[in-house]
Structure 1
Amino acid sequence: MMANLFSIFEPSSSIFNFSINWVSTFLGLMFIPYLYWASPSRWSFLWSKIILTLHKEFKALLTPSHMGASMLFISMFSFILFNNFLGLMPYVFTSSSHMVMTMSLSLPLWFTLMLFGWMNHTQHMFSHLVPQGTPSVLMPFMVIIETISNIIRPGTLAIRLAANMIAGHLLLTLLGGTGPSLALSILSVLIFCQILLLILESAVAIIQSYVFAVLSTLYTGEIN
């Protein structure tokens, strides 16, 4: 049962032995040209408002030397948001529920920040390993703890996004699989619960993309 349950997350669709499920990752690009080539609409005004709000918030978290990086995190937010929402639609592969995709976003970003920080602000990076006011006896332990917490950052970012997307999809799949064996009176309750879960998953899709982008911004703000 567990193998069949988790098989919904496996990229199995293929043409000539070439997996095409990952193509769904780029379906979000279909929504972008509409904002530039079509006449202004409520959707374009709403999306512009969201981007402007995110830009102001990310700019407040970044240092003056990294102001231009806010557009990078807005693009990352948009990319994850499109993938999370598209994954809720039938027969669309949820790429953001896989560690391959989430780690591909977090690991290069973290590695680039660490490389830039240690090469250009070495003394400042060393100072981050020992919080201010730490007793001399605890300094070696704090260096170890801060180093470990720094190393696991890309993993926590990737696992948080993938785990939250998998959890909701598994719950929807488990409840949906019991539908054919239920009576008609109970089936209406199940459909209502599925609708509520779908609304919850839509909120999770927004929250997780926002959390991923905000945490990435905070990590960047530490590299002065």
Structure 2
Amino acid sequence: MMTNLFSTFDPSTSSNLSMNWLSLFIPSLMLPHIFWTKNNRFSIITKKIFYTLHLEFKNLLNWTFTNGITSLILSLIWLLTINNLMGLMPYIFTATSHMVISLTLALPLWLTLMLFGWINNTNKMFAHLLPNGTPPALMMFMILIETVSNIIRPITLSIRLSANMIAGHLLLTLLGNQGTIMNMKNNFLIINTQLVLLTLELAVAIIQGYVFIILISLYTTEVH
């Protein structure tokens, strides 16, 4: 039973077994095996999109580990986008709206990049803490600010993804709850508004996955 608006983002469906996390595996279960062995329209379009993204991130990163990094990035953007879109379907839990998922993705990536940068490029990592042209009086403050901003990066990545997923769902839920107390004319207006919001949510679901990966890519360029 829903006790408040945020109950829809509670992953626990019972006291013994949480079934909502199965939404993470639904895309792989529904994907036919022939997708991997025979070309079809869907697979051709998907490969073209992946190849375009590979070229974009390759130009953005432009260093020796590009091939491995772009493979990781494409896998993550596929995972995030599919789960964001799955969350728009009825009775399916939006896994990416939960901090357990978003922080699990952001924290290991950030920690790996920080360890790689500080171990292999220590001088450059120190240089990033103090931007060029900083007045001597502000140097200590800038180092403190840059240090704090680096530490909170995984948190901001997680909150950005989760908050954007939650916000749209809450608006749709609020409008849907008004349908039971409105007359037919107002219900028609509410339905049209929800259709517009649903269209925007489709765009947000794709954009948020892309933004998450772009920020990870930008963080990657700072450690080499």
TM-score range, shorter chain: over 0.9
Query: Who is 1:157 aligned against?
Result: 157
Q: How does 1:26-175 map to 2 (within 5 A)?
A: 26-30=25-29, 31=31, 33-37=33-37, 39-68=38-67, 69-175=69-175
Residue identity in the other structure for 2:157: L
Deviation at 1:3, TM superposition (A): 4.6
Distance in 1, Cα, partners of 2:3 & 2:13: 17
Distance 1:161 1:33, change over 3 A: farther
The total of aligned residue pairs comes to: 221
| Structure 1 residue matching 2:4: 3-state secondary structure | helix
What 5-or-longer segments of structure 1 have no aligned partner? none
Deviation at 1:160, TM superposition (A): 0.5
Residue identity in the other structure for 2:125: M
More deviation in 178-187 or 192-201?
Answer: 178-187
Distance in 2, Cα, partners of 1:158 & 1:53: 26
| Structure 2 residue matching 1:180: 3-state secondary structure | coil
Distance 1:34 1:138, change over 3 A: farther
Deviation at 1:216, TM superposition (A): 0.4
Distance in 1, Cα, partners of 2:36 & 2:91: 28
Distance in 1, Cα, partners of 2:198 & 2:141: 45
Distance in 2, Cα, partners of 1:12 & 1:184: 35
Residue identity in the other structure for 1:88: L
| Structure 1 residue matching 2:65: 3-state secondary structure | helix
Distance in 2, Cα, partners of 1:198 & 1:109: 31
More deviation in 175-184 or 202-211?
Answer: 175-184
What 5-or-longer segments of structure 2 have no aligned partner? none
Are the counterparts in 2 of residues 97 and 163 from structure 1 also a CA contact under 8 Å?
A: yes
Residue identity in the other structure for 2:164: N
Deviation at 1:84, TM superposition (A): 0.3
Query: Who is 1:182 aligned against?
Result: 182
| Structure 2 residue matching 1:64: 3-state secondary structure | coil
| Structure 2 residue matching 1:181: 3-state secondary structure | coil
TM-score, normalised by the number of residues in structure 1:
0.94
Distance in 2, Cα, partners of 1:79 & 1:29: 10
Counting helix residues as a fraction of each chain, which structure ranks higher?
Answer: 1
Distance in 1, Cα, partners of 2:157 & 2:34: 31
| Structure 1 residue matching 2:154: 3-state secondary structure | helix
Residue identity in the other structure for 1:53: T
Deviation at 1:33, TM superposition (A): 4.1
Identity of aligned residues (%): 53
Distance 1:32 1:115, change over 3 A: farther
TM-score, normalised by the number of residues in structure 2:
0.94
More deviation in 28-37 or 75-84?
Answer: 28-37
Residue identity in the other structure for 2:59: A
